[in-house]
């Protein structure tokens, strides 16, 4: 069972922060970005704040800012799954969600990697799957031609194909996790039988982008299926979330947008044969927090002044105090959300404001848990452990 409090909280970690100039502040330590202690410290801070999970961004190009002058932004990143596996033994209860880029990775590899993370973390792994239209990523991998962008956007047929690929990707990963039934491992020393072959299953999946025979080479993860996380910005992406995600991330601009989007996602879930509560919907917000609104706005102005391109985001940006942010979170939660994934503008500073200021405010308002009462990521969200589809069949 999940906690009975109305708001789930997660954070999205990406380098020095979600503002491109975050690394240039005097309080920043850019030399630490590629050191394990940096990431361990951030995730441990998030766990001290009792957050549901941290997600870790990943990419196959040097930066996440493809347009304009990129001379003033951080170039380079570490592998998100390896970061999560390193941090897992150094944390206890917080969920760990690395990112897979569907066009440039294989679902077999990713299923094994995340199943391993689920074992290492004793049931706290998740997986965020995203697509890509970035020509730099396509050029770096070199397996396919990049889409022809118009005004920075891919053509409609590419988007349709990309969303179909993400859906197939998620399906294959789930089937691989299910391909070992629970109890498939016998480990009988006397007879020499390690597995029950009747409980291992072929996938024989054939799709436009890949074919996978299976079974997996990794036993079924502790959670059965680690939660799959998808981010969507429009109706087609929201439909994908309703069909395929355990946790959906959306980017609303106001409470009315929240209601319309969550209603659409849950309607798609039901029409796809799922229960409405099978998908948890969280809103993404970039946050820049301080003790007063004026101080927070001054921080943003300083950051914008250090950036050659300024700051822009696919998600709404909140600049202000934790009290005011709590008001917004409660308003949007009442409009239909299960929670929020907050993107710290400056990783170490705004994460600390989230865990040490925002969380106590929400706890005082009885909107957020006072302690962890569950131990796996699925349990944090009240998602039951699924039975292997092959055992059910």
> How does DSSP assign 146-207, residue by residue?
PP--BTTB--HHHHHHHHHHHHHHHHHHHHHHHSB-TT-EEEETTTTEEE-GGGB----EE-
**pLDDT score of 169 more than 70:** yes
**Band of residue 76 on the pLDDT scale cut at 50, 70, 90:** confident
62 within a domain of the structure (yes/no): yes
- Report the 10 Å Cβ neighbour count for 371: 8
Strands 205-206 and 316-320: unpaired
DSSP string, 326-392: HHHHHHHHHTT-SEEEEEESSHHHHHHHIIIIIHHHHHHTT-S-SS----SHHHHTTPPPPPPHHHH
Contact 102, 169 (CB under 8 A): yes
Q: What is the mean pLDDT of residues 267-282?
A: 96
Determine the Cα–Cα distance for residues 56 and 143; give it in Å rounded to an integer: 25
Asked if 360 contacts 325 with a C-beta cutoff of 8 angstroms, the reply is no
Where residue 191 falls among pLDDT bands split at 50, 70, 90? Answer: confident
pLDDT in tens, 216-255: 999 999 999 999 999 999 999 999 999 999 999 999 999 9
Q: Is residue 2 part of a domain?
A: no
Residue 160 lies in a domain: yes
Confidence of residue 297 (pLDDT cuts 50, 70, 90): very high
d(CA 362, CA 384): 26
| 215 Cβ neighbours under 8 A, 6+ residues apart | 176, 179, 180, 200, 201, 202, 203
Q: Which helix (H) or strand (E) holds 230?
A: strand 228-231
Report the CATH number at residue 254: 3.20.20.30
Whether residue 309 has pLDDT greater than 80 = no
Question: Mean pLDDT over all residues of the chain?
Answer: 91
Do residues 345 and 27 touch, judged by C-beta distance below 8 A?
A: no
Other Cβ atoms less than 10 A from the Cβ of 77: the count is 20
Supply the pLDDT for residue 187: 80
Residue 3: inside a domain? no
- Domain that residue 338 falls in: 8-392
Total-model pTM:
0.93
pLDDT (average), residues 309-326: 89
* Percentage of residues of the chain with pLDDT beyond 90: 72
pLDDT the model gives residue 1: 43
Q: Which residues pair with 11 in a beta bridge?
A: 54, 342
Q: What is the pLDDT of residue 65?
A: 57
Three-class DSSP category at 49: coil
- Least confident range of 207-211, 236-240, 341-345, 352-356: 207-211
Domain assignment present for residue 313? The answer is yes
100 lies in a domain?
A: yes
Total domains in the fold of the chain = 1
Three-class DSSP category at 277:
helix
Per-residue pLDDT of 77-114, as tens digits, reads 899 999 999 999 999 999 999 999 999 999 999 999 99
CA angle at residue 265 from 252 to 234, to 5 degrees? 50
CB 360 within 8 A of CB 352: no
Q: How confident is the model at residue 54 (pLDDT cuts 50, 70, 90)?
A: very high
Confidence of residue 307 (pLDDT cuts 50, 70, 90): confident
- One DSSP character per residue, 76-98 reads ----HHHHHHHHGGG-SS-EEE-
């Amino acid at each position: 069972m999940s906690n009975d409090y109305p708001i789930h909280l997660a954070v999205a970690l990406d380098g020095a922060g979600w503002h491109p100039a975050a690394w240039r502040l005097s309080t920043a330590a850019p030399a630490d970005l590629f050191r394990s202690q940096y990431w361990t410290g951030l995730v441990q801070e998030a766990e001290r704040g009792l957050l549901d999970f941290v997600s870790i961004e990943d990419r196959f190009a040097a930066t996440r800012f493809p347009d304009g002058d990129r001379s003033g932004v951080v170039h380079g990143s570490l592998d998100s799954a390896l970061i999560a596996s390193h941090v897992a033994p150094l944390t206890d209860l917080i969920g760990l969600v690395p990112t897979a880029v569907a066009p440039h990775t294989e679902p077999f590899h990713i299923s094994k990697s995340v199943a391993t993370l689920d074992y290492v973390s004793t049931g706290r792994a998740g997986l965020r799957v995203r697509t890509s239209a970035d020509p730099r990523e396509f050029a770096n991998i070199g397996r396919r031609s990049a889409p022809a962008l118009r005004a920075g956007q891919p053509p409609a047929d590419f988007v349709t194909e990309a969303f179909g690929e993400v859906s197939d990707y998620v399906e294959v990963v789930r089937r691989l996790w299910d391909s070992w039934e629970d109890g498939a491992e016998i480990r009988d020393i006397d007879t020499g039988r390690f597995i029950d072959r009747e409980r291992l299953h072929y996938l024989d999946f054939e799709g436009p982008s890949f074919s996978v025979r299976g079974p997996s080479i990794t036993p079924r993860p502790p959670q059965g299926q680690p939660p799959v996380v998808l981010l969507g910005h429009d109706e087609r992406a929201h439909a994908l979330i309703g069909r395929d995600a355990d946790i959906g991330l959306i980017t609303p601009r106001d409470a009315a947008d929240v209601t319309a989007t969550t209603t659409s996602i849950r309607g798609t879930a039901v029409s796809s044969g799922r229960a409405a509560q099978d998908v948890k919907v969280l809103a993404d917000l970039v946050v820049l927090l301080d003790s007063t609104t004026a101080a927070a706005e001054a921080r943003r102005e300083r950051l914008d002044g250090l950036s050659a391109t300024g700051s822009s985001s696919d998600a709404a940006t909140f600049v202000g105090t934790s009290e005011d942010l709590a008001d917004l979170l409660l308003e949007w939660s009442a409009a239909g959300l299960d929670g929020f994934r907050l993107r710290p503008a400056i990783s170490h500073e705004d994460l600390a404001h989230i865990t040490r200021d925002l969380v106590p405010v929400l706890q005082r308002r009885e909107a957020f848990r006072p302690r962890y009462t569950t131990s796996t990521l699925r349990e944090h969200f009240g998602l039951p452990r699924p039975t292997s589809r092959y055992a059910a069949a």
